[in-house]
Amino acid sequence: MTNLNTQVAIIGGGPAGLLLSQLLHLGGVDSVLLERRTRAYVESRIRAGVLESGTVELLARAGLSTQVEQHALFHDGFNICFEGNCFRADLKALTGTPVVVYGQTEITRDLYQLRLGAGARILFEAEDVALHDFNSDRPRLTYRTGTGSGEVRCEFIAGCDGSHGVSRTSVPADAITVYEQSLPYGWLGILSGTPPVDDELIYSRSSRGFALCSMRSRALSRYYVQCPISDQLDEWPDDRFWDELRHRIPEWAAARLVTGPSIEKSIAPLRSFVAEPMRFGRLLLAGDAAHIVPPTGAKGLNLAAADAGELASALLLHYRERDDSGLENYSANALRRAWNAVRFSWWMTMLTHRLGDEFSDRVQRAEFELLRRSHAAAELLAKSYCGTALG
């Protein structure tokens, strides 16, 4: 058996776990990271790409400012369209800050390069991970890899292993409360090697359903359409997707649409999930292990990064000053931010998706008209989207 000793054991090699590991490393705190998949698999996952200014600042602290500045797209606004009529949310004018488009895939690759370049201990393909004694001051993990079993002895465990990971499920059921709401439809998304239809994102609500025009770069587009969650990918060949997208976006955007073979295609559920609390003795949850929001508000990656940043600060305060106030407040602070993001993401989803009844259609139209008429409503939308109103 391989025995490892560290200060913080991190479960999950996605953005939250990697960012936490990097921030701890820069602060002089040692960690060991365990990831169930291969590095190639984790780096290839296609996920979110809209970053709040706070997330960009965290990435800069982690050492990624050059990569973001060189490769990211900076957006001063975005469009919300209702039956072809569009309202542009001028983020820069309403909040003083833009949002940044830089894909989770790129962030993950950048962080792996930093961590492995610094000699980080990262165990890929770590199976059968089990958490032990996290209510004591000597927690530990056991695991198995292709070369045998092992144990990690540590002082804290950070559960950054997503909604299906072992961290949250290791907590006794009577010690955790779960709140969840799922919708009967999802997002069918494709990635294509085609130029985006616009320089900014377009959220479009039509009589046929929701569509989103997004991008990963000036030559790589990401598009979504609302579909029943029961749909299968083989029901959506590329030609059907492009035809449906063209019918759901404004005419001026459809005229610019460049189609091509899909590089990746998937259906993502629309789900809100929050687990409380986020700390259990020496086990602390972060990211999707504790909360999930619908992608409509572009909050998932930003919440995960915020958790990692706050948890890193709390652990550094503990090790540098023997001050546990950050750890004691971590759960409450992270949950307040998570619930604010849940509220906004749910509101954005209800505003932009076809819900199937006339009453909802009328309410949506009234909401859209309010955004066009009211500076205060537009400002709240912008601040929520940019993260400055979420705490």
Sign of CA dihedral 25, 169, 283, 53: positive
User: Residue with structure tokens 């504790």?
Assistant: 290
Six token digits for residue 223: 């598009």
- 8 Å CB contact between 385 and 89: yes
Six token digits for residue 77: 């606004």
- 8 Å CB contact between 185 and 229: yes
Calpha distance 368→10 (Å, rounded): 43
Question: DSSP label at 388?
Answer: T
User: Residue with structure tokens 């973001």?
Assistant: 68
- 8 Å CB contact between 325 and 333: no
Query: Is 211 buried (19+), middle (13-18) or exposed (0-12) by CB count in 10 A?
Result: buried
Question: DSSP label at 175?
Answer: G
Calpha distance 156→11 (Å, rounded): 11
Query: 323 by DSSP, 3-state: which?
Result: coil
CA angle 68, 33, 281 (to 5 degrees): 110
Six token digits for residue 279: 């700390």
* CA atoms in the 13 A half-sphere facing the CB of 226: 25
- 8 Å CB contact between 17 and 108: no
Backbone phi, psi, residue 227, to 5°: -150, 160
Give the residue numbers marked as catalytic.
Answer: 75, 203, 295, 299, 385
